[in-house]
Structure 1
Amino acid sequence: MPERRRGAALEKALLDAAWEELTDTGYARFTMDAVVKRAGTSPPVLYRRWSNRDDLVRAAIVHTLKESRLDVPDTGSLREDILTLMREINSTRVQFITIMSMHLAAYHQETGTSPGDLRDPLVTGRAEALDVLFGRAVDRGEINPELLTERIKSLPFDLLRHEILTTFAPVPDDALEEIVDTVFLPLVR
């Protein structure tokens, strides 16, 4: 008999099952029943936590974004920190970014949300991670903190995501360097 899951372990199993169902079938064919079957649980267990599929989809996405958050590099230079993080995203997250975009178009249309609503850095913990990275650069005197808006902080990663979604492939390293050296760094110095 399998061990009974409870609390955080049960919630993680449910959210992992929901994410797997979403990536396998897409939002249009995503059902609560399929998640119940995939998680090996009962409908009341799922419905006690999420009353509808949109709430479950959102929770699964936020859970997956939190779980897939990368470590913040500390190379001693803002340029190398940003490039290291972009290279890691580029080498490990192309499929994830593509799935998020392709499979969730119907979700955004039905719920009236946007991709930005799901990538909320405060919900996923990304804001704190980037604040640490940029805080170190400010402490080293590499950047002017007055020029560091939220849009500028996210700019290199937004451009990377745009490149990935344009080609559905990893971005060449020279393009990453161009984003950092000719677009991003001049804005913060």
Structure 2
Amino acid sequence: MTDATPRRRRDAELLEAIRESVRAELAEFGFAGVTFEGVARRAQTSKPVLYRRFSSRADMVIDAFIPHRFATPPAAVTGDLRTDLLALLNGMAARISPADVATMRGLIGEVDEAHIERVGALTFTHLEEWLRDVTDAAAAAGELGPTPVPAAALRVIVAVLRHELIFSRTSGTEPQFAAVVDGALVPMLRAVTAPPA
């Protein structure tokens, strides 16, 4: 006879089981269908355990979903500015499925100010770091001028990606980044790094 009592697990093991269960619930039911009860049942733990760790359903989804999607850069850096920008933007688009877009839109509707800041720290900080790697490599290859790329320019690129992935994307479509990379992002980066006149 199988013992139905959940076994005791180390904190790290239990947390990973919870995160895997949240992602499984998202895949099966979407953001609207994620509940503390469903996650607890799938993770073989109790709702009080979840309540001690997470202040809300949004808090639980943020913890499980966002770091999993932004853990590593989606493409290697080559030093070719256009190639690397397109690889980064298209790589993130490939990593964020239409279901993920629905999750992020659902989160936007539920999170408070503190959670918005947390989402930014978990996502946009990583993107800015990856973009800094791209621009540093392009500068070393002579594709950009001697002036360091200002943080504001990197935030513009992050804003473009966020808009295209979350707010403009429709089901079954993929963002088309080549035009914006060629017509706006590469010229902007070259302009802000050009030597003073």
Q: What TM-score range do you get, normalising by the shorter chain? A: 0.7 to 0.9
The aligned residue for residue 183 of structure 1 is 184
The alignment-based identity, stated in percent, is 27
CA 1:145–1:33 in 2, change beyond 3 Å: closer, same or farther?
A: farther
Provide Cα deviations, 1:70-117, integer angstroms capped at 9, x if missing partner. Answer: 344222311111111222223332425522433224313xx2467675
In 2, Cα distance between the equivalents of 1:22 and 1:99? Answer: 10
In 2, Cα distance between the equivalents of 1:154 and 1:135? Answer: 16
TM-score (norm 2): 0.71
Q: Which runs of 5+ in 1 are unaligned?
A: none
Write the mapping of 1:67-78 to structure 2, written as runs, cut at 5 A: 67=71, 69-78=72-81
Q: CA deviation at 1:183?
A: 0.3
The aligned residue for residue 104 of structure 1 is 107
Indicate whether 1:26 and 2:31 are aligned: yes
In 1, Cα distance between the equivalents of 2:124 and 2:7? Answer: 31
Q: Contact 1:83–1:180 (CA<8 Å) still a contact in 2? A: yes
Write the mapping of 1:140-155 to structure 2, written as runs, cut at 5 A: 140-144=141-145, 146=147, 148-155=149-156
In 1, Cα distance between the equivalents of 2:148 and 2:79? Answer: 20
Counterpart of 1:88 (choices 76, 79, 91) is: 91
In 2, Cα distance between the equivalents of 1:156 and 1:171? Answer: 14
SS at match of 1:125: helix
Indicate whether 1:134 and 2:139 are aligned: no
Q: Which runs of 5+ in 2 are unaligned?
A: 191-197
Letter in structure 2 aligned against 1:47: Y
TM-score (norm 1): 0.74
Q: CA deviation at 1:5?
A: 4.2
In 1, Cα distance between the equivalents of 2:137 and 2:96? Answer: 25
Q: Larger deviation: 117-126 or 93-102?
A: 117-126
CA 1:123–1:135 in 2, change beyond 3 Å: closer, same or farther?
A: same
Provide Cα deviations, 1:96-147, integer angstroms capped at 9, x if missing partner. Answer: 5522433224313xx2467675132578633433322222122223223646
CA 1:162–1:62 in 2, change beyond 3 Å: closer, same or farther?
A: closer
**How many residue pairs get matched?**
182
Q: Contact 1:75–1:81 (CA<8 Å) still a contact in 2? A: yes
